[in-house]
């Protein structure tokens, strides 16, 4: 570390802070670090900078209204992704029993409906809902997911009251930590869009977040940790399982087993299990 760089570091911890632009480290062609130091500033600039910091720290997060942010967004047409796992597919890749990635997997969800791949704006909006806890983003995403489900024919052939919406549950501990049950927010909007009730029929035990577990261990991490609540019953109904992101599919698979009232190791649905399960996710992580 050069003397100059050390000076810059120290500057970063000064209060009141100088705008980052003026602290910017400019590397000259010979790679020796040079620093642009803020010129002495008047009271007006000082107040302006302080206000900018206040805005960033206290008023943030201020976000654009969800409807406005998503006004131009169009969900993926059904042919762009696999109906079975929700993964992005190329032309002619869809086969009767899934795509190249899922045809050899056993999946309890009869169909998977999504808005798009987990990238770009869609990933940002999921983040705004989940980490900034801006509910209207979940409501708007759920409304659109409901429309996509309707278009995919989720209500076809069902008697009135034959459809129930259920969020992939969160453990109580995670719910307290997050301060928002984002899948539930989305699920409520999906239910409203489809005119279907939203159930709370699943329990979930606390485990490390799937995000902190390598992909190969996620199935084991979540196995047996989601189940049907003692007083819940989905028999005679189709259940739409709602979540924000599908990555390996292990979580939604475990939730589907719960909805089907399948005990650990069981191969068939239990007496209180749903007749069929559909998955509905805002986004699906692209395969690499
Ligand atoms: Zn597939």
Same domain assignment for residues 104 and 23: no
Q: Which residue has the tokens 């201020």?
A: 62
Domain final residue, candidates 34, 59, 84: 59
Same domain? 153 vs 36: no
Polymer length in residues for the chain: 288
Encode pLDDT of 249-268 as tens digits: 999 999 999 999 998 888 99
* Pairing label, strands 238-246, 226-228: unpaired
What is the 93 CA–ligand 1 centroid distance (Å)?
9
Do 129 and 23 share a structural domain? no
Mean pLDDT of 219-246: 95
Quick one: what percent of the chain has pLDDT higher than 70? 82
Residue 168 to residue 241: CA distance in whole angstroms: 6
Residues 6+ apart with CB under 8 A from 2: 32, 33
Domain match, 131 and 163 both: yes
Domains identified in the chain, total number: 2
Distance 250 CA to ligand 1 centre (A): 14
- pLDDT tens per residue, range 18-52: 444 444 443 334 444 455 555 566 777 778 777 77
25 shares its domain with 146: no
Write out the two tokens for 195: 């005119």
Q: How far is the CA of 279 from the centre of ligand 1 (A)?
A: 13
Show the beta-strand stretches assigned E in 25-123: 25-27, 33-35, 111-117
C-alpha of residue 104 to centroid of ligand 1, in Å = 9
Given a contact cutoff of 8 angstroms between Cβ atoms, the answer to whether 116 and 77 are in contact is no
Same domain, 117 and 80: yes
Place of tokens 């924000």: 244
Give the pLDDT score at 78: 86
pTM for the full model? Answer: 0.78
Residue 101 Cα to ligand 1 midpoint, Å, equals: 5
Q: What pLDDT is recorded for position 27?
A: 39
Residue-number span of the structural domain to which 198 is assigned: 66-284
Clarify whether residues 164 and 215 are in a common domain. Answer: yes
One domain, residues 73 and 55: no
C-alpha to C-alpha distance for 101 and 176, rounded to whole angstroms:
35
Q: Where are the beta strands (DSSP E) in the chain?
A: 25-27, 33-35, 111-117, 163-167, 198-199, 202-204, 226-228, 238-246, 276-284
* Orientation angle between helical segments 182-194 and 135-152, nearest 10 degrees: 40
The answer on 153 and 36 residing in a single domain is: no
Query: How many angstroms separate the alpha carbon of residue 110 from the centre of ligand 1?
Result: 11
Residue 188 Cα, ligand 1 centroid: separation in angstroms? 27
Protein residues placing their CB within 5 Å of the ion ligand 1: 82, 84-85, 87, 98-99, 102
Residue 82 and residue 121 in one domain? yes
Q: How open is the CA angle 129-131-132, to the nearest 5 degrees?
A: 70
Q: Is 45 in the same domain as 178? A: no
CB atoms within 10 A of CB 53: 14
- In DSSP terms, 95 is beta-bridged to 98
CATH number of the domain within which 137 lies:
3.40.50
Whether residues 277 and 202 share a domain: the answer is: yes
**CA 193 to ligand 1 centroid distance, Å:** 26
Q: Any idea of the CA torsion for 7, 8, 10, 12, to the nearest 10 degrees?
A: 170
């Amino acid at each position: 570390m050069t003397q100059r760089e050390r000076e810059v570091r120290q500057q970063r911890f000064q209060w009141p802070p100088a705008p980052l632009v003026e602290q910017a480290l400019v590397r000259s062609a010979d790679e020796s670090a040079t620093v642009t130091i803020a010129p002495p500033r008047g009271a007006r600039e000082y107040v302006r900078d302080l206000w900018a910091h206040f805005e960033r720290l206290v008023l943030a997060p201020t976000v654009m209204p969800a409807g406005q942010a998503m006004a131009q967004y169009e969900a993926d047409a059904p042919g762009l992704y696999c109906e079975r796992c929700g993964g992005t597919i190329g032309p002619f890749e869809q086969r009767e029993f899934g795509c190249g990635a899922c045809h050899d997997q056993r999946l309890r969800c009869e169909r998977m409906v999504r808005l798009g791949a987990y990238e770009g704006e869609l990933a940002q909006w999921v983040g705004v809902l989940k980490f900034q806890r801006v509910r209207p983003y979940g409501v708007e995403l759920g409304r659109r997911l409901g429309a996509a489900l309707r278009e995919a024919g989720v209500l076809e052939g069902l008697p009135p009251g034959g459809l129930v919406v259920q969020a992939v549950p969160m453990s109580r501990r995670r719910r307290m930590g997050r301060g928002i049950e984002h899948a539930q927010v989305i699920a409520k909007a999906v239910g409203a869009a489809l005119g279907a009730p939203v159930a709370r029929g699943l329990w979930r035990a606390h485990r490390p977040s799937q995000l902190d577990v390598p992909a190969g261990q996620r199935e084991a991490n979540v196995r047996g940790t989601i189940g049907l609540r003692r007083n819940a019953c989905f028999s005679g109904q189709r259940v739409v399982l709602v979540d924000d992101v599908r990555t390996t599919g292990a979580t939604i698979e475990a939730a589907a087993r719960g909805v089907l009232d399948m005990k650990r190791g069981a191969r068939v649905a239990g007496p209180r299990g749903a007749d069929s399960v559909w998955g509905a996710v805002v986004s699906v992580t692209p395969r690499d």
